[in-house]
Amino acid sequence: MDTKARSGHNSEWEDKKKEIEYFEKIERKKRPEWGSQWDSEMMSYIRQMGSEKTMRLFYQRYIPNSTCLIVGLGGGGDAVLVKDLARMIIGIDITKLPLVEARNRGIKGEFIACDAEFLPFREKIFSSIIIRSTLHHLPHVEADLSQFAKVLQKDGALILQEPGLLNPIALIGRTFFPTNRHTPGERPFVPLALQNRIKSDLIIVKSEYHYLFSHFLPILWKVLPKKLKKVKILDLACDFDKFLLKTPLKQLCWIFTIVAIKKT
């Protein structure tokens, strides 16, 4: 192995160590808590009407009676959403703490601490895979997507939700106001670029784009007069967002969701 290759591997390992430190809460205290920068009620509203609504609809369509792998289990939020839909849930995370949190929520399933780049599963074992806000933490996206496709059965669904790289508001936040969830090795995606990578192994059947600017309102709300009607303003902003995200501006979204199916 040449010096450049060794240097690259060392850098990736350092990034992974940082991931573990951040998500085991060793380093989290050095940064503000994710979500502390906005009005939680307002952000919850636009997420439930946007990206979360999309995920729930996709879960209802693609998860029932499936053997479901959740990559990046976190605290088990997605496991809670699919626990009454999937026949079996297997969740993995690079750190043990999220697995403990998931078990404490009473979710039935198998939870495994492992690196998502080295899946300990045989081929064609899962009929659905959920990866939410995790793929952009992995250094070898093409190889990882191929690995996920291998463990997916024919006609199985891969449901991805990831942050967009080009959203101006999110870019400013990640660069100048990082929170405990922003880790050194993360690489958000240009939606079109990720879609092209996925097409090497799977067929994309659904793509949804969320939030061009409306996610700034919960941040702004902390300094706005409280007498303003939140819901009315949010609804207007979200409707305008949805209109703009039907144009090429969708590549500037904050969050995007993809469903891809394995056909071979």
Q: What is the mean pLDDT of residues 123-127?
A: 96
Better-predicted residue by pLDDT, 100 or 62: 62
pLDDT at 22: 66
Q: Model's pTM, two decimal places?
A: 0.88
SS (H, E, C) the chain: CCHHHHHHHHHHHHHHHHHHHHHCCCCHHHCCCCCCCCCHHHHHHHHHHCHHHHHHHHHHHHCCCCEEEEECCCCCHHHHHHCCCCCEEEEEECCCHHHHHHHHCCCCCEEEECCCCCCCCCCCCEEEEEEECCHHHCCCHHHHHHHHHHCEEEEEEEEEEEEECCCHHHHHHHHHCCCCCCCCCCCCECHHHHHHHHCCCCEEEEEEEECCCHHHHHHHCCCCCCCCCHHHHHHHHHHHHHHHCCCHHHHHCCEEEEEEECCC
Binning pLDDT at 50, 70 and 90, where does residue 7 land?
very low
* Fold that domain 3-261 belongs to in CATH: Rossmann fold (3.40.50)
**Domain regions of the chain by residue span:** 3-261
pLDDT reported for residue 122: 94
pLDDT at 29: 58
